Structure 1
Amino acid sequence: MDSVSGSSSLDGLRWQRETGVPEADDSNGMLTQEDFFALMTQELAHQDPTKPVENNEMISQMTAFSTTDGVARLNDSFAQFANSMSSSQALQASSLVGRSVLVEDNTFGMATGEQPKGKIVTDSPASNVNIYVENTAGEIIQTVPVGNVPAGESNFTWDGMTSNGELAPEGAYRFRVAGLVDGQASELQAMTYRKVDSVTLAGAGGNIVLNLNGGSTMNLSDVVEVTQG
């Protein structure tokens, strides 16, 4: 006579511990407010009845935790504010593409037919001022007479023509400015306007870099002046 066993394949499964995927923990190992109150509850439950926790000690613990929690929340707020500022700066910088910015540099890139602009900077009035346009080989391809300039900043424009009356080819050039200051031959500072080709955001919270014509770059924070075209 066959006997029937009271066990089945399901019986073996009945005693297996259920394992699940642990929930994601966003606390990064730090105690939360719930953890603090849970610990405090356990401390009160297991305290020595003859040596109860002093009120001052309990208030001190709560104050310390509140301060730590407040600092953590403040750090989060600052991080969100920094990300917001980066996004705002990136949007601001993107509006500069196609426009010109003033750079404290006398070198520039020029496309055929352009008329590069710049500024002469001097602390004292100067006379007999000339602007020498040089190519990458250091050759003077055009001399632009300016005459007298006052102290401060003076705008100038090069028509993009060589001394032979021909259009200068596309490429990199440099403005060199010289004149007389207090009767002495002096070189004056020249700043140039450079067109912004594109913008690069160097990571979250990083510098925003403007990519200028001619291959050079500059930080958005270094922009002195912005003009159309």
Structure 2
Amino acid sequence: MSNDVQSTSGLGSLYWNGNQPKTEEKNDELTQADFFSLLTQQLSYQDPSKPADNDQMIAQMTSFTMAEGISKLNENFESLAASMTSNSALQASTLVGKKALLESDSIELNSGEVSKGTVLAPEAVDNLTLTIKDSSGQIIDTVDLGAQSAGAIRFEWDGLDADGQPFPPGEYQIVAEGSINGEYSALSLATFKNIESVNINGANGIIVNTKEGAVRLSEVAEISV
């Protein structure tokens, strides 16, 4: 039998640390009562012919009070930060199951739903056409959007073939092409992706996880049900 001890990093550390006996921590912090006790002791030993300077005593008391106030302020900020993180986690959990609009060259088709997305046109475009392909690269459908102004151009795909029968649910490749200033070119797309989970990742904020990977919530253009 191996004598190796399992690592206590990650989730394991939570269980190991939870089973360890707790010891009382010694508090070496100097309190205001300690300060006044030291000040009283100092006054009792002062030279009567050279009494302590009142201004100096007031300055010491003021400095101590300010230091204690800053310490308590820091504790309050830490408590506020922890509370905000908890609130962010709670709010982020409500995103699971919704859809995030992300830049992508694929579109999700779900049974009984119309797939939606956006074409990102930097300039006015003519003869804008969407081409949908299956996993083998075969063209299965096209959507004619005609002439469009510059900006975010919304579109819908019903996911039906020429006979009105639905294509199987899943991921399909999508390409947007059109004529800009007489030149035919491809345009960027953004489509809605199912949000599978979310993470609270410290400095990176809320992370949204989809089938295509993880992105910051700040990079999500739109959330839809």
Normalising by structure 2, report the TM-score: 0.75
- In the alignment, is the contact (CA less than 8 A) between 2:119 and 2:155 conserved in 1? yes
Counterparts of 1:61 and 1:155, CA distance in 2: 67
- In the alignment, is the contact (CA less than 8 A) between 1:143 and 1:163 conserved in 2? no
Counterparts of 1:137 and 1:46, CA distance in 2: 93
Structure 2: which 5+ runs fail to align? 1-22
- In the alignment, is the contact (CA less than 8 A) between 1:133 and 1:142 conserved in 2? yes
SS in 2 for 1:146: strand
TM-aligned CA deviation for residue 24 of structure 1: 4.3
- In the alignment, is the contact (CA less than 8 A) between 1:93 and 1:220 conserved in 2? no
Change (3 A) 1:127 1:64: same
Q: Deviations over 1:103-138 (max 9, x none)?
A: 233445444554321111223110111122345565
- In the alignment, is the contact (CA less than 8 A) between 2:108 and 2:192 conserved in 1? no
Counterparts of 1:72 and 1:177, CA distance in 2: 58
Quick check: 1:218 aligned with 2:177?
A: no
TM-aligned CA deviation for residue 185 of structure 1: 2.0
Aligned to 1:208: 206
- In the alignment, is the contact (CA less than 8 A) between 2:101 and 2:222 conserved in 1? yes
Change (3 A) 1:43 1:137: farther
Counterparts of 2:164 and 2:47, CA distance in 1: 101
Aligned to 1:85: 84
Aligned to 2:54: 55
Change (3 A) 1:138 1:164: farther
Residue type of the alignment partner of 2:70: V
Aligned to 1:40: 39
Q: Deviations over 1:185-211 (max 9, x none)?
A: 2322211112222333347x7733222
- In the alignment, is the contact (CA less than 8 A) between 1:202 and 1:208 conserved in 2? yes
Aligned to 1:185: 184
Structure 1: which 5+ runs fail to align? 1-21
Q: Deviations over 1:42-100 (max 9, x none)?
A: 22222233332211111111111122112112211211221222222222222222222
Change (3 A) 1:108 1:64: farther
Residue type of the alignment partner of 1:80: S
RMSD value, Cα: 2.8
Worse-matched range after superposition: 119-128 or 89-98 = 89-98
Change (3 A) 1:89 1:46: same
- In the alignment, is the contact (CA less than 8 A) between 1:100 and 1:226 conserved in 2? yes
Change (3 A) 1:49 1:176: farther
Normalising by structure 1, report the TM-score: 0.74
Residue type of the alignment partner of 1:225: E
Residue type of the alignment partner of 2:89: A
Change (3 A) 1:206 1:119: closer
Aligned to 1:132: 131
Residue type of the alignment partner of 1:182: N
Change (3 A) 1:146 1:45: same
Change (3 A) 1:67 1:126: same
SS in 1 for 2:114: coil
SS in 2 for 1:147: strand
Identity across matched positions, percent: 37
Aligned to 2:8: none
